[in-house]
């Protein structure tokens, strides 16, 4: 099964964002995770459309946009127009999951459905045939740098069993070289990490995370 690293720029230095993306490209990263927060669905505010369009101009990496916003149907088209390749919204944030998936697909992007740690796996089950990715949050959404919630692994395993080998199952929150293997063993194959990548030397951190995830052999270091 393919394994993907998607570093979250929530922990990036925004005054040096272009250079930091170059560092990720240099060590072979293929996805960038972009956390959009509205101060309503989650208490925190982050950034929005201009960051997506600026990144689209400087990189061909997959732009993996994680919308932590209330009523995401209001903004899906605009994020895709700005350059998002994958748009993930929260099941808890909308009254019409089908409508959101429909808008994303009609506009040519891939659709991800996210669930917070307290949301049961069966919320996702009716949509398995329509989505490209499930995001199982391993922290309460809203902030970088929180502790990994190991109890989410049971949900990841169950969803892997139900969704099959081809589904992308993303994990997001509290992931570091010390624990990255745990969600992978539970069935995750898209790994988001913010502080573990951006705090310190980005290239070294990414290589260390990739090595601990089993993506890089000793000789490639
Ligand atoms: C949290 C965000 C995460 C966050 C992860 O709500 O969805 O993507 O940036 O940060 P770390 O890896 O530091 O927990
Ligand atoms: Zn995220």
pLDDT 10s digits, 20-41: 999 999 999 999 999 999 999 9
User: Does the beta carbon of 46 sit less than 6 angstroms from any atom of ligand 1?
Assistant: no
CA–CA gap between residue 113 and residue 96 (Å, rounded) = 12
| 41 Cβ contact list (under 8 Å, min separation 6) | 68, 69, 70, 90, 92, 93, 141
User: Does the beta carbon of 7 sit less than 6 angstroms from any atom of ligand 1?
Assistant: no
Residue 91 CA from chain centroid, whole number: 15
- Identify residues whose C-beta is under 5 A from ligand 2, the ion: 35, 66, 172
For the question of residue 35 being annotated catalytic, the response is: yes
- pTM for this model (two decimals): 0.97
What domains are there in the chain, each with its CATH number?
Answer: 4-214 (3.20.20.70)
Q: Residue-wise pLDDT tens for the chain (221 aa)? A: 789 999 999 999 999 999 999 999 999 999 999 999 999 999 999 999 999 999 999 999 999 999 999 999 999 999 999 999 999 999 999 999 999 999 999 999 999 999 999 999 999 999 999 999 999 999 999 999 999 999 999 999 999 999 999 999 999 999 999 999 999 999 999 999 999 999 999 999 999 999 999 987 554 55
Q: Is 2 exposed, middle or buried (0-12, 13-18, 19+ CB in 10 A)?
A: exposed
CA–CA gap between residue 188 and residue 157 (Å, rounded) = 8
Distance 219 CA to ligand 1 centre (A): 30
Task: Determine the number of helices (DSSP H) and then strands (DSSP E) in the chain.
Answer: 8, 8
Assigned token pair, 119: 């949301």
């Amino acid at each position: 099964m393919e394994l993907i690293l998607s570093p979250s720029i929530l922990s990036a230095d925004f005054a040096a964002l272009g250079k930091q993306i170059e560092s990720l490209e240099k060590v072979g990263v293929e996805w960038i995770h972009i956390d959009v927060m509205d101060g309503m669905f989650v208490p925190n505010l982050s950034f929005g459309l201009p960051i997506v369009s600026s990144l689209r101009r400087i990189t061909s990496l997959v732009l993996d946009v994680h919308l932590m916003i209330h009523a995401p149907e209001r903004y899906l088209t605009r994020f895709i127009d700005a350059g998002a390749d994958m748009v993930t919204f929260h099941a808890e944030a909308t009254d019409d999951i089908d409508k959101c998936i429909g808008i994303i697909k009609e506009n040519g992007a891939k659709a991800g459905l996210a669930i917070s740690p307290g949301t049961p796996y069966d919320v996702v089950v009716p949509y398995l045939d329509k989505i490209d990715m499930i995001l199982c949050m391993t922290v309460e959404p809203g902030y970088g740098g929180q502790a990994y919630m190991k109890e989410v692994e049971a949900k990841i395993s169950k969803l892997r069993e139900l969704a099959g080998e081809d589904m992308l199952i993303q994990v997001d929150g509290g992931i570091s070289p010390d624990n990255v293997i745990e969600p992978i063993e539970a069935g995750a194959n898209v790994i988001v990490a913010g502080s573990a990548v951006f705090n310190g030397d980005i290239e070294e951190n990414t290589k260390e995370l990739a090595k601990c995830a089993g993506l890089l052999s000793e000789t490639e270091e």
